[in-house]
Structure formats: structure tokens, C-alpha cells
Structure 1
Amino acid sequence: MRAILLPVLIAASTVLAGCGGGSGSTGNDTLSVAATAVPHAEILEVARPILEKEGVRLQVRVFNDYVQPNDQVAQKHIDVNYFQTEPYLDAYNKGRGTSLVTVTGVHIEPFGAYSRRHASLEALPAGADVAIPNDPSNNSRALILLHTAGVITLADPSNALATQRDITANPKGLKFRELDSAMLPRILDQVDLALINTNYALDAGLDPTRDALAIEGSDSPYVNFLVARPDNKGDPRVQALASALTSPEVREFIERKYKGAVLPAF
């Protein structure tokens, strides 16, 4: 299926489960990082040997949700995280009263619309069941993609926190189901269309460049950032990781490994 390559009008996305709680760095040479499995933890493995040359030992903790990585950093159990876009971070800080900050942008994961029932967005039936993320930033990102594809109309498609209440036209009468982002690939067989973050799509074996019916363009402003606290953003270990994540080695890995499904943002 050929995807419709779409530009986007504004900016967000991001994973857990793995290693349980624990404290932050266990020594002055260790830096702990919360990340999603794909592609974030994979990219961190490329950065690992670069950091080792700087005398920094990387401790990666993998998560499969979008809340715990920020909670762990805010509570100082983990030093930094790498999984999210700035709009998502802004919404988290506003909702939790925290002040986590971006360190450097690393990559873009073009957001996509997927279906196992229909070959195109035009083929969606009246009253189609559409699953979208339930967190504010990715919820709006899904709606903006559908607006850009001409499936719905939003009052202000530049609003990074648009909701269903902002839909001014829905010609097909789409019925939206809001679910946790991690759930969306699992229910793809049960809905007409699902709007899925690329990290979860890749983890589920989907190829965004081949399987998506619509996908954000390479100009997507939804950059995934390395994130820290204000008190440790300037830590030499954090800055060393920022440099490693924006190195030629990481750029080459992203371009070779993901073949357009993930794009360098530096």
C-alpha cells in the first residue's frame, strides 16, 4: 500500500516495561537513561561505546508507556530519558507541575495511520471505527494527520492540543476510540483505522514507509528529545550523551537501520 506523504503543521510522542524502579546513577561514571525499546534503546546502544571512550557507563532502562519515564526522572530515580517530543513533555510538565527540560533533539518518527481492513483512507466506510492515542499531545497529532489527509476538518490545525471538540467537519462520521498509545497496534485487527506512534508501529513489526495509509512528511516538527531535570542538564555526563546521540555514528545507524521510518533531526 502506498502511503500518502503528508506535511504537518505543528509538534510530540513515546515506552516501558522493563526494569523496575531503582535509583538514579549508581556512581559518578554512570548515567541512567529511561527509554522506549524501539528505536530509542537501539539508538542508545550505538551511543554506548562513544560514551565509554569518555569514561561514562550507560545504564539503559526500557519502558513501554509514556508516563513512567518522566516520573522516574522527575523523582530522581533515573537521570535522564529519551522517548518523547516537546509537545508531549510540555503537556506532562503542565499536568504534573514538573519542570523537566529538553537537552537536544535526536530524531523524528513520522506518525502514521494504519489499517488491516482497507487499502486507502478513501475506502474508509461511513461510521468507521478509528482508534487514536488518549494522551493530549498524541491525540491532537492524530487528528491533525487526519485533517491534513482531508478526512476530517479541524477549526485550527496548528493547535498542538486539538481535541475531538475542535472537529468542524467529519464527512464519513468517523467514530473515535481513544486508547493508550501502546494498545493501538494490538487492536489494529479490531478497528477500521488506527493512528500509531512509529516506535510502537516498529515494535509491532509494521513498516511505516510501506504500511501506513498516511504518514507525516520528513518536515515533521515532532522531534524526539533527550530530556533531563534543570539541576542535571549541565552535568558533563548528560552533555556527553547529548553529543553521542548527535554523532555521525548515530546518524548513519538511523539512516541505515530504519530506512526512512525514523529520521535524524540533527
Structure 2
Amino acid sequence: MKKFVKIIGLALTVGVVLAGCSSGTAKSEKTEVVKLGVVGANNEVLESVKERLKKDGIDLQLIEFSDYTQPNAALAEKEIDLNSFQHQIFLDNYNEEHKTNLVSIGNTVSAPLGIYSSKIKDVKELKDGAEIAIPNDATNGGRALLLLQSAGLIKVDPAKKQTPTVNDITENKLNLKITELDASQTARALQDIDASVINSGMAVDAGFVPAKDAIFLEPVDETSKPYVNIIVARKEDEDNETYNKVVDTYQQEETKKVIEETSKGSSIPAWETFGRK
């Protein structure tokens, strides 16, 4: 009888252990991988979001790209699930050019564009014939020209709205030479030219603190809405519960604190100013 009781007890113990293993395996199988494309290596904000998503069974994997031409193509081809690197105007232009249907599912940060220089401390110090680099893509290039206009350096044709080109410059009293480069090269060109218009993410990657180091920084107001950075998905995944959980987790107070710490006040939580998306 004692032997029988021992055998039953042992069987129950093994059953509990196996059930525990089975439960653990089931939990592991429920973990959902979400591949999110980013540009550049400084992703502390998204790393904090990634950590918080673990408790919801979501494994957010950050897939790094080296320039702005790749993440949308990867998303459209279903190589990744989401991306987070661009603003709405850039996305609209990409969709139009490539006949894709990618959509914003959430606002992230407002990251002002800035003018930087290793030779001068103020835009007023620019001399006749000075050379300024700007991004060569249509949306960031247009935004850069509007920034130069805000700084009082040039004037552009207002009919071109948010996407003027160098051919739309109507006034250039300093005869500035505008050199168009890939956005990833504008920071590297600083040693060879007088000033560069650099996207916030590229500036941070180059070691700048935009709010401190830019000689002129883009103002953040209602006109900034088209330049708010966004999380993007394919149209058919717009209402995907898991992907929207990524947005929900991003748009939290914990994220706001990391944005403040990592950007030194240069970026602001866009969802607080402009809403969820």
C-alpha cells in the first residue's frame, strides 16, 4: 500500500512538472515577433518600448537600415511589419512615387530640422557665396529650403507649398550655393562646406544635440504637423491589434521621459500636441 501511495505521489509530481513545462512552452509560443524598421543606430526610445512590450508577449525587433530609401520598400515587400523613421509628407511622396499603400498608425516625436556649421555660430555670419548642403530627396529637401527661408536666407515660391526645389528659389541675396546630398551625408559634409541642413536623427547620430548645437532650429508649431515622425504599417494592417499595441506602448509617460533624456529637449512627444495619429 505504501509503495502504491509513493508511486501515485511520484506520478502526480511528474505530472505537475510536465504541466509546468507544457505551460511554459505554450506561453513561449504566444510570443509574437514584430519587426520594426529604423534608420540609424541611436534607438534608445524604441529600446525602452521594446522592453515594456515583453510583458504583453510582444518581441519588438528593431531592424536597422542605413538610409531613408530602404525601410518603406522593406515594409511594402513584407520583409518587416512596421517602420518608424519618417514624417507624413515623406510617406505621401513615397506612396505616390512607388504606388504603395502604406499608412501612419501613430505619432511619435516632433524632431526639428536644424542648420549646423563647424565654422560659424550664427546664420547671420554666412558670407556671400557660402555653400550650404541640404537633403536631396523631395520632401526633406523642400523642408530644408523652407527652413532656410525661415532663417531669412532665401525666399521660395509659395505656390510650391511644402515641396519647393532649388529651382523655386525666388530670392537669394547672398548668392548661396545650395548643394543637394543624400540625407545621410549632410552631417559628414560639414568639414568641407559652410553649413548643412541636417535631419534630427542624423544630427544625433553625428553627436550633436539639436537644441544646443544647431545655429538655427526649425520652430515647432501647427505648421509642423506634416513633419511629425510616425509609425507606419501596410494599409491592410492598419487595425492590427498587436501593431496598435506597439503604438499604445510608445505613447506613454515612460517614453516621454526617455525622449527628454536622450534628445536633451530637442524632440517633443508629438502625440501630446497632435493626438494619436
State how far apart, in whole Å, the 2-side matches of 1:185 and 1:61 are. Answer: 23
Aligned 8 A contact 1:38 1:202 in 2 = no
State how far apart, in whole Å, the 1-side matches of 2:100 and 2:30 are. Answer: 25
Instruction: Please list the CA deviations of residues 32-58 of structure 1 after superposition, one character each: whole Å capped at 9, or x if unmatched.
Output: 10012355x321111112211111111
Q: Match for residue 69 of structure 1? A: 71
2:54 aligns with one of 49, 52, 55 = 52
Aligned 8 A contact 2:129 2:175 in 1 = yes
Deviates more, 1:63-72 or 1:217-226: 217-226
Question: SS state of the match for residue 231, structure 1?
Answer: helix
Once the 2 structures are TM-superposed, how far is the Cα of residue 237 of structure 1 from its aligned partner? 1.3
Partner AA of 1:31 in structure 2: V
1:147 aligns with one of 146, 149, 157 = 149
State how far apart, in whole Å, the 2-side matches of 1:195 and 1:157 are. Answer: 22
Gaps in structure 2 of 5+ consecutive residues:
1-28, 272-277
Aligned 8 A contact 2:105 2:232 in 1 = yes
Partner AA of 2:73 in structure 1: D
Q: Match for residue 38 of structure 2? A: 35
Question: SS state of the match for residue 57, structure 1?
Answer: strand
Instruction: Please list the CA deviations of residues 133-189 of structure 1 after superposition, one character each: whole Å capped at 9, or x if unmatched.
Output: 000000011100110111101121871111112111000001111000001111111
Q: Match for residue 269 of structure 2? A: 264
Are 1:252 and 2:254 matched, yes or no? no
Are 1:104 and 2:109 matched, yes or no? no
Aligned 8 A contact 2:31 2:57 in 1 = no
Deviates more, 1:142-151 or 1:211-220: 211-220
* TM-aligned CA distance change 1:38 to 1:246, over 3 Å: farther
Structure with the greater alpha carbon radius of gyration: 2
Q: Match for residue 171 of structure 2? A: 169
Provide the identity percentage: 36
Which is bigger in relative contact order (C-alpha 8 A, separation at least 6)?
1
Q: Match for residue 8 of structure 1? A: none
Superposed, 1:200-219 pairs within 5 Å as: 200-219=202-221
Are 1:132 and 2:137 matched, yes or no? no
2:122 aligns with one of 106, 120, 123 = 120
Q: Match for residue 87 of structure 2? A: 85
Instruction: Please list the CA deviations of residues 231-262 of structure 1 after superposition, one character each: whole Å capped at 9, or x if unmatched.
Output: 11211110110101101110111112212211
Once the 2 structures are TM-superposed, how far is the Cα of residue 121 of structure 1 from its aligned partner? 1.1
Q: Match for residue 230 of structure 2? A: 225
State how far apart, in whole Å, the 2-side matches of 1:102 and 1:141 are. Answer: 20
State how far apart, in whole Å, the 1-side matches of 2:77 and 2:53 are. Answer: 25
Deviates more, 1:118-127 or 1:169-178: 118-127
Once the 2 structures are TM-superposed, how far is the Cα of residue 218 of structure 1 from its aligned partner? 2.8
**Aligned residue pair count:** 240
Once the 2 structures are TM-superposed, how far is the Cα of residue 94 of structure 1 from its aligned partner? 0.8
Question: SS state of the match for residue 37, structure 2?
Answer: strand
Partner AA of 2:173 in structure 1: P
Query: If each structure's helix is expressed as a fraction of its own residues, which one has the higher value?
Result: 2
Partner AA of 1:230 in structure 2: K
What stretches of structure 1 move > 6 A for 4+ residues in a row? Answer: none
Compute the TM-score of the two structures, normalised by the length of structure 1.
Answer: 0.86
Question: SS state of the match for residue 110, structure 1?
Answer: coil
State how far apart, in whole Å, the 1-side matches of 2:118 and 2:50 are. Answer: 38
Partner AA of 1:240 in structure 2: K
Aligned 8 A contact 1:218 1:263 in 2 = no
Aligned 8 A contact 2:44 2:258 in 1 = no
* TM-aligned CA distance change 1:166 to 1:213, over 3 Å: same
Gaps in structure 1 of 5+ consecutive residues:
1-25
Compute the TM-score of the two structures, normalised by the length of structure 2.
Answer: 0.83
